[in-house]
Amino acid sequence: MSRVFNFSAGPAVLPEAVLREAAAEMLDYRGTGMSVMEMSHRSKTYQNIIDTAEADLRKLMGIPAGYKVLFLQGGASQQFAMIPMNLMKTGAADYIVTGQWAKKAWQEGKLYGRAEAIASSADKTFSYIPDCSDLPVHDDASYVYICENNTIYGTKFHTLPNTKGKPLVADVSSCFLSEPVDVSKYAMLYGGAQKNVGPAGVVIAVIREDLITEDVYPGTPTMLRYKTHADNGSMYNTPPAYGIYICGKVFKWLLDQGGLAEMGRRNREKAAVLYDFLDASRMFRGTVVKKDRSLMNVPFVTDSDELNKKFIAEAEAAGFVNLKGHRSVGGMRASIYNAMPMEGVKKLVEFMDGFEKRNG
């Protein structure tokens, strides 16, 4: 068996310790004689798995009382609709458009009311985060929406926008659990698990309880109401049971590593190794305004498409996989989530350095 260094943006690398533990429990989960995959979600054993996962997530993020944790399905993309259906109580909401995911959420929002883009970085191919200190937030906006870390373009809101008192809703899919977070600043944050938390198929939403009401867009299906899931402990129907179990293991792993403060420290260190190299290189360069750089997704290019292609192919042959940039932007992208060890980043930089010397 040999593991590669997997720089995929998602589904992405998971901690090896978690995978080993899951493998060891595959045929017989702790004396039950069955896999978690085969288990009734109504069993005591499973209830304990989901309760522990939620408790550990609350501990990790310091989620205050008054917030619900929901384990949902449908990917982060399902939330693009669920958010306006459930939270656009005034029929209006403001969106900050900093990339394709934010744009998709904005477009979806328009199906349910007056969704307006109050800031955008589309003018420079989403290579920066606009100044959000004094935006024209609408008086009747039910919320202000952001995509906090832009997976495709590699930018991050290092300062949250001034929403002028309006509830902040954030897609944190690709920066979930990457550093400490003050949950009380958000009305809702959510993310698909497959970037930094667990397997695809699980979406985790943390929502202020007072926003979870029956006052939803007319015709909102039962399954798409937050209240349905909140009232039933995320088990109105069969939850993505195995995925939640793996997420729970990742939460334990994060706690064992020292929690989010420690992850933040490691992630800043890892990102610095890669960005410092890019800043010094004469062949490779980062594509994003420095102050807005993501710690998780690092896009970079050379000046030649041919060289990009050659680099990606040679890197793959050397065991550094999934470095191809998103199909919409080209070039390269290294996603260096929590589970990517420093060793992987250092070896990648060594490889890039060698490539530059051979081809410079």
Ligand X SMILES: *Cc1c(COP(=O)(O)O)cnc(C)c1O
Q: List the catalytic residues.
A: 101, 171, 195
Look at residue 79 and give its three-state secondary structure: helix
User: Among residues 8, 127, 163, 173, which is the contact residue for ligand X, using CB under 6 A?
Assistant: 173
- In single-letter form, the type of residue at position 205 comes to A
Report the nearest approach of ligand X to the CB of residue 300 (Å).
18
C-alpha–C-alpha distance, residues 324 and 315, integer Å = 10
Look at residue 243 and give its three-state secondary structure: helix
Mask 70-109, x = binds ligand X (CB under 6 A)?
-----xxx-----------------------x--------
Closest CB to ligand X among residues 147, 349: 147
11 binds ligand X (CB under 6 A): no
Closest CB to ligand X among residues 99, 355: 99
Angle at 288 between CA 326 and CA 137, to 5 degrees: 95
Which single residue brings its beta carbon nearest to ligand X? Answer: 75
Report the nearest approach of ligand X to the CB of residue 305 (Å).
25
Only one of the segments 22-30, 167-175, 215-223, 273-281 lies at the binding site for ligand X (rule: CB under 6 A); that segment is 167-175
- In single-letter form, the type of residue at position 291 comes to K
C-alpha–C-alpha distance, residues 144 and 148, integer Å = 12
User: Among residues 5, 7, 10, 176, which is the contact residue for ligand X, using CB under 6 A?
Assistant: 10
- 179-214 b/e with 16+ CB inside 10 Å = b? bebebeebbbbbbbbbbbbbbebbbbbbbbeebbee
Only one of the segments 69-77, 86-94, 119-127, 254-262 lies at the binding site for ligand X (rule: CB under 6 A); that segment is 69-77
Report the nearest approach of ligand X to the CB of residue 19 (Å).
20
Report the nearest approach of ligand X to the CB of residue 191 (Å).
7
What's the token pair of residue 54? Answer: 């939620």
Q: Under rule CB under 6 A, how many of the chain's residues touch ligand X?
A: 12
195 binds ligand X (CB under 6 A): yes
Closest CB to ligand X among residues 278, 296: 296
Report the nearest approach of ligand X to the CB of residue 195 (Å).
5
Count of alpha carbons within 13 Å of 355, Cβ hemisphere only?
A: 24
Compute CA 79 distance to the chain's CA centroid, rounded to the nearest angstrom. 13
User: Among residues 151, 163, 294, 338, which is the contact residue for ligand X, using CB under 6 A?
Assistant: 151
188 binds ligand X (CB under 6 A): no
Q: Which long-range contacts (CB under 8 A, 24 or more apart) does 270-277 make?
A: 270/295, 270/336, 270/340, 270/342, 270/345, 271/295, 271/296, 271/298, 271/336, 273/342, 273/345, 273/346, 273/349, 274/298, 274/334, 274/336, 274/345, 274/348, 274/349, 277/349, 277/352, 277/353
147 binds ligand X (CB under 6 A): yes
C-alpha–C-alpha distance, residues 351 and 45, integer Å = 46
127 binds ligand X (CB under 6 A): no
Residues that bind ligand X (CB under 6 A): 10, 75-77, 101, 147, 151, 171, 173-174, 192, 195
